[in-house]
Amino acid sequence: MSNAPLAPVPAGGDLTRAPLTPDRIWQLLDTVPDPEIPVISLVDLGIIRAVDIDGDKVVVTVTPTYSGCPATRVINEDILACLHANGIENARVNTRLSPAWTTDWISEKGRAALLEYGIAPPQPKGIPEACPRCGGHSLELTAQFGSTPCKALWRCNDCLEPFDYFKCI
């Protein structure tokens, strides 16, 4: 069982003809965006917990960001659609709730993508370090919930722009 993605596909790599390996599956899953935050892949979000292969059967284990996440069904469908589109028909998705997902599982690449998109990535202190738009440090919480339950809405007093902060979980 593998719990971490491996090296990306080399430029020009064709995964539809590659051997069925965990590395290949991780690479495919790294192309599947989170449906609520499409700038981050499911792999970089840290919800893909394992890829197992038994003969021609692929099992992808997912830990949702929280047990009531409304995107869980769509995520599972997107995983299967990606695998099917790449010639992997015998696949299923398992859900694992324990250990619970944590924002610590978001990769550095994922954190950078959030920031570039304008979402402040989770911080150990539970509050954003700086405005993702201007880098200002005069910030105020305007709502505990932003565009999704995983995010809070903040406002920068320097540029006066609102922004989402991905809450620490």
pLDDT, tens digit (0-9, with 9 covering 90-100), for 105-118 = 999 999 999 999 99
Flag whether 1 is in a domain: no
Quote the Cα angle for 65-76-151, to 5°: 25
> How many whole angstroms separate alpha carbon 77 and alpha carbon 65?
16
Residues 95 and 125 in one domain: no
Domains identified in the chain, total number: 2
pLDDT tens-digit readout, 66-86: 888 889 999 999 999 999 999
Closest CA to 60 of 102, 88, 19, 38: 88
Domain span at 78 = 22-103
Residues 26 and 59 in one domain: yes
Strand bridging mode 139-143 / 151-156: antiparallel
pLDDT tens-digit readout, 3-53: 333 333 434 455 456 678 999 999 999 999 999 899 999 999 999 999 999
Q: Please say whether the beta carbons of 53 and 25 come within 8 A.
A: yes
